[in-house]
Structure 1
Amino acid sequence: MSETVPQLPPPPSPEPEGEVKLSFLDHLRDLRVRMVRAMLGIAIGMGLVGGFVPQIVDHLMKPVRDALPAGRQQLVYTSAIEPMMVYIKVAMYGGVFVAAPWVLWQLWLFIAPGLYKREKKVVFPFLFWGTLLFYLGALFCFELVMPQAFPAMLAFAESDTLSPMLSLSEQLSLVLAMLLGFGVVFEVPVVIAFLSMIGLVQWRTLAKYRRIAIIVNVIAAAIITPTGDPLNLALMAVPMIVFYEVGIVLARILGKKPAADAAPAA
Structure 2
Amino acid sequence: MSENKIIKAIRDKGKTMEAEMSFFDHLEALRWHLVRASVAIVIFTSFVFYFYDWIFDTIIMGPSRPTFWTYRMLCEIGAALHRSGFCIDKINIQLINTEMAGQFTLQINSALIIGITLGVPYLIWEIWRFVKPALHEKERKAATGFVFYACMLFFMGVLFGYYVITPMSINFLSGYTVSTKIQNLFSIDSYISSVATLTLATGVVFELPILVYILSNLGVLTPKFMRETRRYAVVIILVIAAIVTPTPDMLTMTVVSIPLFVLYEVSIVVAGLVEKRKLKRHDEIMS
> TM range, normalised to the smaller chain?
0.7 to 0.9
Determine if contact 2:44/2:116 at 8 Å carries over to the other structure.
Answer: yes
C-alpha displacement at 1:124, in angstroms? 5.4
Give 1:64's aligned amino acid: S
* 1:95 and 2:115 matched: yes
Give 2:266's aligned amino acid: V
What TM-score do you get using the length of structure 2 for normalisation?
A: 0.73
Equivalence for 1:79? 99
Determine if contact 2:33/2:126 at 8 Å carries over to the other structure.
Answer: yes
Structure 2, unaligned runs of 5 or more: 1-19, 72-87
Q: How many residues align?
A: 247
Equivalence for 1:64? 64
Please list the CA deviations of residues 226-253 of structure 1 after superposition, one character each: whole Å capped at 9, or x if unmatched: 3343233333332222101101101211
CA distance in structure 1 between the aligned counterparts of 2:183 and 2:156, rounded to whole angstroms: 34
Give 2:63's aligned amino acid: P
Equivalence for 2:74? none
* 1:257 and 2:278 matched: yes
Equivalence for 1:13? none
CA distance in structure 2 between the aligned counterparts of 1:104 and 1:265, rounded to whole angstroms: 36
1:196–1:55 distance in 2 versus 1, CA, 3 Å: same
Please list the CA deviations of residues 140-173 of structure 1 after superposition, one character each: whole Å capped at 9, or x if unmatched: 1222222322222234317543332121111111
Determine if contact 1:65/1:74 at 8 Å carries over to the other structure.
Answer: no
SS at match of 1:87: helix
C-alpha displacement at 1:261, in angstroms? 5.5
CA distance in structure 1 between the aligned counterparts of 2:245 and 2:279, rounded to whole angstroms: 38
CA distance in structure 1 between the aligned counterparts of 2:37 and 2:96, rounded to whole angstroms: 35
1:200–1:38 distance in 2 versus 1, CA, 3 Å: farther
Determine if contact 1:65/1:75 at 8 Å carries over to the other structure.
Answer: no
Q: CA RMSD in A?
A: 3.1
Give 1:133's aligned amino acid: L
* 1:115 and 2:135 matched: yes
Equivalence for 1:237? 257
Equivalence for 1:10? none
1:202–1:112 distance in 2 versus 1, CA, 3 Å: farther
1:102–1:260 distance in 2 versus 1, CA, 3 Å: closer
C-alpha displacement at 1:92, in angstroms? 0.8
Give 2:46's aligned amino acid: G
Please list the CA deviations of residues 89-112 of structure 1 after superposition, one character each: whole Å capped at 9, or x if unmatched: 121111112212111101212222
CA distance in structure 1 between the aligned counterparts of 2:53 and 2:148, rounded to whole angstroms: 29
CA distance in structure 1 between the aligned counterparts of 2:260 and 2:91, rounded to whole angstroms: 37
Deviation larger for 58-67 or 34-43? 58-67
Structure 1, unaligned runs of 5 or more: 1-20
Equivalence for 1:12? none
CA distance in structure 2 between the aligned counterparts of 1:209 and 1:79, rounded to whole angstroms: 49
1:26–1:129 distance in 2 versus 1, CA, 3 Å: same
* 1:127 and 2:147 matched: yes
Q: Where do 4+ consecutive residues of structure 1 move more than 6 Å? A: 263-266
Q: How does 1:1-266 map to 2 (within 5 A)?
A: 23-58=22-57, 59-66=59-66, 74-121=94-141, 125-157=145-177, 160-255=180-275, 256-257=277-278, 262=283
Determine if contact 1:119/1:197 at 8 Å carries over to the other structure.
Answer: no
CA distance in structure 2 between the aligned counterparts of 1:38 and 1:200, rounded to whole angstroms: 30
CA distance in structure 2 between the aligned counterparts of 1:242 and 1:262, rounded to whole angstroms: 32
- Structure with greater helix percent: 2
Deviation larger for 218-227 or 37-46? 218-227
Determine if contact 1:193/1:247 at 8 Å carries over to the other structure.
Answer: yes
Determine if contact 2:106/2:189 at 8 Å carries over to the other structure.
Answer: yes
1:147–1:136 distance in 2 versus 1, CA, 3 Å: same
1:38–1:71 distance in 2 versus 1, CA, 3 Å: closer
Percent identity (aligned) = 30
Please list the CA deviations of residues 13-46 of structure 1 after superposition, one character each: whole Å capped at 9, or x if unmatched: xxxxxxxx98444443333332222212211211
Determine if contact 1:75/1:166 at 8 Å carries over to the other structure.
Answer: yes
CA distance in structure 1 between the aligned counterparts of 2:183 and 2:228, rounded to whole angstroms: 50
What TM-score do you get using the length of structure 1 for normalisation?
A: 0.79
